[in-house]
Amino acid sequence: MGIRDDTERLNLSLDSLVGGRSVWFVPDVRLIPGLVWVVFVLGGSILTMVLYSFMVDPLSGDFTITFEFYREFFSKALYRTVMIDSLVIALKTTLGTLLVGYPLAYYIAVHSDHRNLLLLVVIAPIWINEVIRTFAWMLILNTNGVINYVLVDLLGVLDDPLRLMNTETAVVIGLVHPLLPYMIVPIIASLLRIDFSEIEAARNLGATKLQAFYEVTLPQTVSGIAAGATFVFVLSSGAYLAPVLLGGSGNNMIANFIGLMFSEGQNWNFGAVLAVIYSAVIVVLFVAVGLVGDLELGGATDLEGDQ
Amino acid sequence: MTEPILSVTDLTKSYGRTVAVDDVSFEVENGEFFSFLGPSGCGKTTTLRMIAGLETPTSGSIEMNGEDLTAVPLHERDVSMVFQTFALFPNKTVGENVGFGLKMDRVPKAERRERVAEYLDLVDMPGFEDRDPTNLSGGQQQRVALARALITEPSILLLDEPLSSLDLKLRKNMRFELKRIQDELDTTFIYVTHDQDEALSMSDRIMLLNAGEREQVGTPQELYSRPASEFAADFIGDTNLFRGAVARTNGSTASVELRGLSTALESVRNPIGAREGDSVVLSVRPEHIDVSTASSGQVVGQVETVTFYGNSTRLLVDVDGERVLVEVGGREGAVSLERNQSVHLQFDSDRAALLEA
Amino acid sequence: MSPSFSALLGRVDVSDRTAGRLQRAVAGGVLAFLYLPILIVILLSFTPERNPSFPMPGLSLKWYEALVENSAFTDAIVFSTKLAVACAFVSGFVGLMAGFGLARTAPSGGFLDERKLRILFSLPIIIPFIITGIGGLVFFNVLGIYGSFTSLLVGHVMITLPFTTLVIASGLSGLDESVEEAARNLGATQLRAYYEVTIPMIMPSIVAAMLFAFILSFNNFVQTFFWLSFTDQTLPVLIYGRIRLTYDPTLNAVGTVLIVFSLVVTVTAERASKRLLT
Ligand SMILES: Nc1ncnc2c1ncn2[C@@H]1O[C@H](COP(=O)(O)OP(=O)(O)OP(=O)(O)O)[C@@H](O)[C@H]1O
Ligand SMILES: [Mg+2]
């Protein structure tokens, strides 16, 4: 009796380990390598980074705790400005992707007979190397690039070439381009959920196309816009390549400063502080957006790319 | 009686707080066609899966030919299963599907080919070896699944609602096919269904399950004519359930007052040992009620509806506000009965089943 | 405010035909914006001139020849390929296991239910790349493997694991579990059942997952930039260095190769995993 009970209990707990589906706190064994990878490598990276933000040199065993690096951040206006500038560029990029992306999303969702093919066409550039993509924009925006060739040499609209490179605009364009799919896909998803007989109804009631869009369609895609905007904002705020290659020395963003601290500057502590504060801003943003509207980020998580 | 091939004792399976199978015991005889019958979610599949080894019992024992089966790993059990979804291997041909069990048993290729042909013959699909199973019709997939499960000559074949994804006509044909194959091979079949017609028409014996518990085990005739509970009477076939009380007992029979109908049935068989004054339920099948327009009968009622079924006619009769379902065989009587007509009903007390309330 | 704005919109009305044309034109414009930069790189890779000029004076393959003869590029291509292939296999294998675990875990209501696991496994791509980049740099230093091939592999597997895991899990979620059970029932051990039935059934997802991992690893720039030592160069990091140095037309050639290669691989993967084209 007693032995039987014990074996049953053992069987029960083994159930969750082996084929069973009821997971309480022992995960399926097959998850373990992946979990170790995420928890150990990602967790380890973030933990050591956080440690560096308030310990002088933990790598060589100096675990003295100091908040001097944080104090340095808050005492220097430069870094605050960079942080804010980065967020402003991210905001402009987000608005840019929304304005450029929404019409295409609308077209694909509502009109297209080849929806899946077009979706693939929109998503495919995500997989193209981002260095090459940024390089392409250099070819276009340069003083002797494509745009100036068209405006000055071909059409003769301008006498002198435009200075497009090494401006904030160039950075924003260089970010809107790779991030468009992240805005378009969630919007398409939300458009596809709309019952279009509602729009017919609104039109029957005398609304013009624009009115019907503004009163019926647009409000129902807010969740898609919010999801897309969150993705684009987060990804663009942490941009590294576009500011360096298209923005020049005057348009560095937060990621460039963080990177700088870990290469030539060799001030790991301060770099870690920047990284921690930047992460905190992003987390707060995520939480805030999550509180305001329940985001459906699922739709877009499976199309991530580089950035 | 011979030794049972399978004997299940106090079998229980719980998932967290839900008890899927609750203390179920039964025995299956060698060569028998044994069915689990019950409504959706009553634990039929779970019981079957525990026999197959796809699920570990929470408690209780399963013995096959007197040996503990729970100790045998699932891939070594001498039982085969036909899944509800057929579960054919889409990456293998029909022949490879059917021969899979033999391959696992390391049967040489030549012999395998011969046996596959033989079993495809058995299920009436000769020459289908090289076909892609995903391009077969539902009925053909079903046959392949059957051949695949039978080729290893298991002592017991488990079938989980194998006909439920087929259309009605095919389903009826496959019933005969399954019986034919079972007769031919003399294998023990344990068959899961929620369709009482299927269970009644194919089984040697049926176990009726309700909410994880065993309700009754018996032959189809026993289940139909001697239901052991209100649930059993109601689930199998159509019946009238009348509430009442025992007025008198007399040896193995009882006289029962029916509350709603204000009449009494004399000498009803009393297998449950009800005593005077006990509240009981009486189950009377529609075909065990005689109807006549003449003034003889126990109760009088008005015909509410008349439904013609071809070989029989069913009446819904209103007796003092209580509805009684009556079946009239053949064409006789049916023609002359109409709505709102007054009729006399006579209950066959020999065939009424006395049940605990 | 809203009603008045809406009323303003009410004054603008166009015929269905005009609206349709307008929408098509805008959609076409946006698609052009997406693909024009890519096309320009491809176009310029065939110019015979050193500095880009329009109209192009002719066609030539000289920059492709220059690419093949430049050992810095070919070395980087070999190094990137090695890394990406290793990453595809390790990430594919770990992701295969994790995908199984994920698909077989209760959807919700547990300490580590499927929903939470999905978020956990997505973290490496949700967290900004600069953070994982410098985090990894510090961590690999702590572990004493900074700059090694191993550290790059460990890091690349981390950033590709979300893809391999989720692609394989979604392949498995459409799978009838009883097929594997049928194999077990017919006498296959668990491993044999995987080999005979389950793995072949989700092979398209596995291939897609590995292709995604390969391309992501091959193209990764930000993290790799911080994780690389001075001795090795991946192709994207090398290209970045060249771009900063000076304009080199060979870059158009290598860019074209990368674009075509990436698109072919990932469109194949998207098709195999049936994520889009169903
Ligand atoms: N893996 C599981 N986890 C939790 N609960 C389960 C699991 N499998 C079955 N159950 C529960 O156990 C009960 C019995 O399920 P089972 O599948 O055996 O019923 P069934 O009689 O086969 O029903 P149906 O006719 O619908 O197939 C149900 O309440 C079901 O929800
Ligand atoms: Mg079932």
Give tens-digit pLDDT for B43-97.
Answer: 999 999 999 999 999 999 999 998 999 889 888 999 999 998 899 999 999 999 9
Separation of alpha carbons A188 and A227, rounded Å: 11
- Which residue's alpha carbon is nearest to atom 18 within ligand 1? B43
Predicted pLDDT at A15? 44
Q: Is B268 on the interface with C (CB under 8 A)?
A: no
pLDDT at B275 exceeding the cut of 70? yes
- In sequence order, the β-bridge partners of residue B314 are B307, B327
Q: What are phi and psi of B245, to 5 degrees?
A: -140, 150
- Which residue's alpha carbon is nearest to atom 5 within ligand 1? B15
> How crowded is the C-beta side of C72, counted as CA atoms within 13 Å?
12
Vertex A78 angle, CA A77 and A84, to 5°: 90
- Which residue's alpha carbon is nearest to atom 13 within ligand 1? B20
User: Residue C1: which pLDDT band, with cuts at 50, 70 and 90?
Assistant: very low
pLDDT at C75 exceeding the cut of 90? yes
Separation of alpha carbons C50 and C63, rounded Å: 9
Q: How many whole angstroms from C192 Cα to the centroid of ligand 2?
A: 26
Q: Which of C186, C192, C201 sits opposite B80 (nearest CB)?
A: C186
Closest residue, chain B, to A12 (C-alpha): B58
b/e map B134-150, b = 16+ CB within 10 Å:
eebeebbbbbbbbbbbb
> Do C120 and A43 form a contact (C-beta atoms < 8 A)?
no
Assign domain B238-356 to its CATH superfamily.
Nucleic acid-binding proteins (2.40.50.140)
Q: B114-138 pLDDT, tens per residue?
A: 999 999 999 999 999 999 999 999 8
Out of B15, B19, B161, give the residue to mutate to test ligand 1, the one with the largest number of ligand atoms within 8 Å of its CB.
B15
Residue whose tokens read 């000559």: B153
Chain C (199-238) residues lying within 8 Å, Cβ to Cβ, of chain A:
215-216, 219-222, 225-226, 236
Chain A (168-227) residues lying within 8 Å, Cβ to Cβ, of chain C:
177, 180, 207-211, 214-215
> Do B284 and B352 form a contact (C-beta atoms < 8 A)?
yes
* Interface predicted TM-score (ipTM): 0.89
Query: Cα A204 vs. chain centroid, distance in angstroms?
Result: 40
Tell how many helices (H) and how many strands (E) occur in chain B. 8, 20
Q: Which CATH number is associated with domain A77-306?
A: 1.10.3720.10
Chain C (231-270) residues lying within 8 Å, Cβ to Cβ, of chain B:
none
Which amino acid type is present at position C96?
L
Look at residues C91, C119, C269, C105 and name the one whose alpha carbon lies nearest to residue C172.
Answer: C105
- Which residue's alpha carbon is nearest to atom 8 within ligand 1? B46
* Ligand 1 site, residue B46, Cβ cutoff 6 A: yes
Predicted pLDDT at A26? 60
Q: Is B58 on the interface with A (CB under 8 A)?
A: yes
Separation of alpha carbons B1 and B52, rounded Å: 25
User: Residue C271: which pLDDT band, with cuts at 50, 70 and 90?
Assistant: confident
On chain C, the residues whose CB falls within 8 A of the CB of A121 are 31, 34
Q: What is the mean pLDDT of residues C124-151?
A: 92
Residues in chain C: 278
CB contact under 8 A, C185 and B80: yes
Query: What residue spans define the domains of chain B?
Result: 6-233, 238-356
> Do A282 and A230 form a contact (C-beta atoms < 8 A)?
no
Chain C (179-218) residues lying within 8 Å, Cβ to Cβ, of chain B:
179, 181-189, 192, 196-197, 200-201
> Do A57 and C142 form a contact (C-beta atoms < 8 A)?
no
Q: B22-42 pLDDT, tens per residue?
A: 999 999 999 999 999 999 999
Tell how many helices (H) and how many strands (E) occur in chain C. 14, 0
> How crowded is the C-beta side of B21, counted as CA atoms within 13 Å?
27
CB contact under 8 A, B59 and A15: no
Separation of alpha carbons B237 and B327, rounded Å: 12
Separation of alpha carbons B321 and B80, rounded Å: 53
Share of chain B above pLDDT 90, in %: 56
* Ligand 1 site, residue B13, Cβ cutoff 6 A: no
Predicted pLDDT at B338? 79
Measure in Å the smallest separation between the Cα of C38 and chain A Cα atoms.
7
Predicted pLDDT at C275? 57
Separation of alpha carbons C80 and C232, rounded Å: 10
Q: How many whole angstroms from C181 Cα to the centroid of ligand 2?
A: 15
Look at residues A95, B102, B104 and name the one whose alpha carbon lies nearest to residue C195.
Answer: B104
Separation of alpha carbons A285 and A48, rounded Å: 23
The CA-based dihedral angle spanning residues C199, C203, C209, C213, taken in that order and rounded to the nearest 10 degrees: 90
Instruction: Report residue A283 as tokens.
Output: 């987390």
* Ligand 1 site, residue B44, Cβ cutoff 6 A: yes
pLDDT tens sequence for chain A (307 residues): 333 334 344 444 444 444 444 444 567 888 999 999 999 999 999 999 999 998 888 777 778 888 888 998 888 888 889 999 999 999 999 999 999 999 999 999 887 778 888 888 998 888 999 999 999 999 999 888 888 888 888 888 888 888 888 999 999 999 999 999 999 999 998 998 887 777 777 777 777 778 888 888 888 888 899 889 988 999 999 999 999 999 988 889 999 999 999 876 678 899 999 999 999 998 888 788 776 655 544 443 444 333 3
DSSP A198-213: HHHHHHHTT--HHHHI
* Ligand 1 site, residue A111, Cβ cutoff 6 A: no
Look at residues B113, B75, B99, B182 and name the one whose alpha carbon lies nearest to residue B148.
Answer: B99
* Full strand arrangement of the beta sheet holding B188-193: B79-82, B156-160, B188-193, B33-37, B205-210, B213-218
For B281, residues 6+ apart whose C-beta sits below 8 A from its C-beta are: B230, B233, B241, B242, B243, B244, B354, B355, B356, B357
Look at residues B101, B84, B86, B82 and name the one whose alpha carbon lies nearest to residue B136.
Answer: B86
Residue whose tokens read 């074949």: B157
User: Residue B140: which pLDDT band, with cuts at 50, 70 and 90?
Assistant: very high
Q: Which CATH number is associated with domain B6-233?
A: 3.40.50.300
Separation of alpha carbons B50 and B57, rounded Å: 6
Q: C155-185 pLDDT, tens per residue?
A: 999 999 999 999 999 888 888 889 999 999 9
Separation of alpha carbons A18 and B217, rounded Å: 34
Residue whose tokens read 């269904």: B193
Predicted pLDDT at B333? 53
Measure in Å the smallest separation between the Cα of C275 and chain B Cα atoms.
20
Residue whose tokens read 């290209």: C239
- Which residue's alpha carbon is nearest to atom 19 within ligand 1? B41
For A76, residues 6+ apart whose C-beta sits below 8 A from its C-beta are: none
Separation of alpha carbons A124 and C267, rounded Å: 7
Instruction: Report residue C50 as tokens.
Output: 């050193």
A-to-B residue pairs, Cβ atoms closer than 8 angstroms: 10
Q: How many whole angstroms from B15 Cα to the centroid of ligand 1?
A: 9
Q: C106-123 pLDDT, tens per residue?
A: 776 667 788 888 889 988
Sheet strands (E) in chain A? 55-57, 62-65
Q: What is the mean pLDDT of residues B285-291?
A: 90
pLDDT at B322 exceeding the cut of 70? yes
Q: Where are the alpha helices (DSSP H) in A142-207?
A: 146-148, 168-192, 197-204
> Do C223 and C136 form a contact (C-beta atoms < 8 A)?
yes
Vertex C249 angle, CA C246 and C251, to 5°: 80
> Which of the residue ranges A229-243, B271-285, B332-346, C207-221 would you say has the lowest mean pLDDT?
B332-346
Crossing angle for the helix pair B94-104 and B138-150, to the nearest 10 degrees: 20
| Residues forming CATH 1.10.3720.10 domain(s) in chain A | 77-306
Minimum-distance ligand 1 atom for the alpha carbon of B38: 21
CB contact under 8 A, B79 and C197: no
Measure in Å the smallest separation between the Cα of C186 and chain B Cα atoms.
5
Separation of alpha carbons C143 and C151, rounded Å: 9
> Do C81 and C218 form a contact (C-beta atoms < 8 A)?
yes
Look at residues C218, C102, C77, C84 and name the one whose alpha carbon lies nearest to residue C169.
Answer: C102
Long-range pairs for C193-201 at CB < 8 Å and ≥24 separation?
C196/B89, C196/B100, C197/B89, C197/B91, C200/B91, C201/B89, C201/B90, C201/B91, C201/C175
Chain B interface, mutation test: which of A10, A12, A23, most B Cβ atoms within 10 Å?
A12
| CA distances from residue B250 to B243, B255, B256, B269 in whole angstroms, order as listed | 20, 8, 11, 10
b/e map C229-241, b = 16+ CB within 10 Å:
eeebbbbbbbbbe
Minimum-distance ligand 1 atom for the alpha carbon of B36: 21
Residue whose tokens read 């805008």: C26
Instruction: Report residue A25 as tokens.
Output: 């706190």
* Ligand 1 site, residue A21, Cβ cutoff 6 A: yes
Which amino acid type is present at position A123?
I
Q: Which helix (H) or strand (E) holds B130?
A: none
Asked if the peptide bond before residue C55 counts as cis, ω within 30 degrees of 0, the response is yes
Look at residues B181, B75, B47, B62 and name the one whose alpha carbon lies nearest to residue B124.
Answer: B181
Q: Is C261 on the interface with A (CB under 8 A)?
A: no
Separation of alpha carbons C162 and C126, rounded Å: 10
Predicted pLDDT at B335? 58
Measure in Å the smallest separation between the Cα of C184 and chain B Cα atoms.
5
DSSP B86-129: ----TTS-HHHHHHHHHHHTT--HHHHHHHHHHHHHHTT-TT-T
For C90, residues 6+ apart whose C-beta sits below 8 A from its C-beta are: C153, C157
CB contact under 8 A, A209 and C220: no
Q: Classify A236 as helix, strand or coil.
A: helix
Predicted pLDDT at B1? 53
DSSP C93-114: HHHHHHHHHHHTS-SSSSTT-H
* Ligand 1 site, residue B210, Cβ cutoff 6 A: no
Q: How many whole angstroms from B140 Cα to the centroid of ligand 2?
A: 22
On chain A, the residues whose CB falls within 8 A of the CB of B56 are 11, 14-15
> Do A300 and A227 form a contact (C-beta atoms < 8 A)?
yes
Q: Which of B54, B88, B149 sits opposite C181 (nearest CB)?
A: B54
Closest residue, chain B, to C199 (C-alpha): B91
Minimum-distance ligand 1 atom for the alpha carbon of A21: 1
